[in-house]
């Protein structure tokens, strides 16, 4: 618990937030793992591939840089073929704290 609080403090001081968008057919399982293992929220949108012409879902989440390794593990365990874009985020407006 103390280690998690220290990681959160360091992330806030360094501004090291990560925005991840993952296009997957397994958004429910990935979302559940993010909620349970990372204690973070996520948003899911229906999407349609321009090239593949297939419907999928895009899962969006914001994590600290220190949680990126675990997020990658989650995605690779559940859907290794998911297309995921990871972007450094400068700031966040709204609630980011773990509950």
Each of the 99 residues of the chain gets a pLDDT tens digit; together they read 566 666 665 555 555 789 999 999 999 999 999 999 999 999 999 999 888 899 999 999 999 888 999 999 999 999 999 999 999 988 778 776 655
Residue 35 lies in a domain: yes
Do the Cβ atoms of 28 and 17 come closer than 8 Å?
A: no
Residue 49 lies in a domain: yes
Residue 62 lies in a domain: yes
pLDDT at 51: 87
pLDDT at 94: 78
CATH number at residue 65: 3.30.70.120
pLDDT at 97: 64
Domain count, the chain: 1
Residues in CB range of 20: below 8 A, 6 or more apart = 60, 61, 62, 63, 68, 71, 84, 85, 86, 87
pLDDT at 65: 87
Residue 95 lies in a domain: no
Residue 9 lies in a domain: yes
Domain that holds residue 37: 2-89
Residue 99 lies in a domain: no
């Amino acid at each position: 618990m103390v280690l998690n609080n220290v990681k959160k403090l360091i992330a806030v001081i360094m501004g090291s937030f990560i925005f991840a968008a993952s296009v997957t057919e397994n958004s429910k399982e990935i979302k559940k793992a993010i909620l349970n293992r990372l204690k973070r929220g996520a948003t899911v949108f229906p999407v349609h591939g321009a090239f593949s012409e297939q419907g999928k879902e895009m899962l969006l989440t914001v994590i600290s840089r220190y949680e990126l390794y675990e997020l990658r593990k989650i995605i690779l365990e559940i859907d290794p073929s998911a297309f995921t874009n990871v972007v450094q985020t400068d700031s966040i407006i709204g609630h980011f704290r773990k509950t």
